[in-house]
Structure 1
């Protein structure tokens, strides 16, 4: 089972992640939505499409843009639609 932790809390947990470019993409339903705050940040990947971000908010602390997802991925990345990945100090094991 893959687990994402930050600031002492489990943010996501799933035994059905998709690994793309070394990152675990967690199904959105396995992510604790109370820790996610929408961000205005977007980036573009040439083969996955445009990524949107969340700021993690846990126990009064923010980790800006520490989670990302592709709301409308290109066909080559269709397997990560409705999935979220983490970085910026989020400990992902599994």
Structure 2
């Protein structure tokens, strides 16, 4: 599967390496082009997953605020709920399309 923004592939991995949480596909960290992501200062803590790290996504000269996120150190109970360790896996939102 691929995370694509205006024809640019931001992340790519086989579906069996992704994790689906609450309707969002999370890509393994090694599959993400980190040059296209910039850490965002936006704070958020999910009640069951833990502290979130948002990213701004680069689209050429345009920066799309908070269009990607991950959980660097999820709560241990979140691993039980999801069934896998999803630390640093990255999910995408809005303009970034996840396709087969």
Structure 2 residues without counterparts, runs of 5 or longer: 80-84
Tell me the equivalent position of 2:33. 32
1:69 to 2:70 alignment: yes
Aligned to 1:89: 95
Q: Please, which runs of 5 or more residues in structure 1 have no aligned partner? A: none
State the Cα distance separating 1:51 from its structure 2 match. 0.6
**CA separation in 1, counterparts of 2:2 and 2:77?**
25
Shift of 1:26: 0.3
**TM-score normalized by the length of structure 1:** 0.92
Q: 1:59, 1:7 → 2: CA distance?
A: 10
Query: Which structure has the greater CA radius of gyration?
Result: 2
| CA distance in 2 between partners of 1:14 and 1:76 (Å) | 26
Report the aligned-residue RMSD.
1.1
* Offset of residue 93 of structure 1: 1.6
Aligned to 2:13: 14
Shift of 1:50: 1.2
User: Whole-Å Cα distance in 2 between the matches of residues 87 and 76 of structure 1?
Assistant: 25
Give the drift of 1:58: 2.2
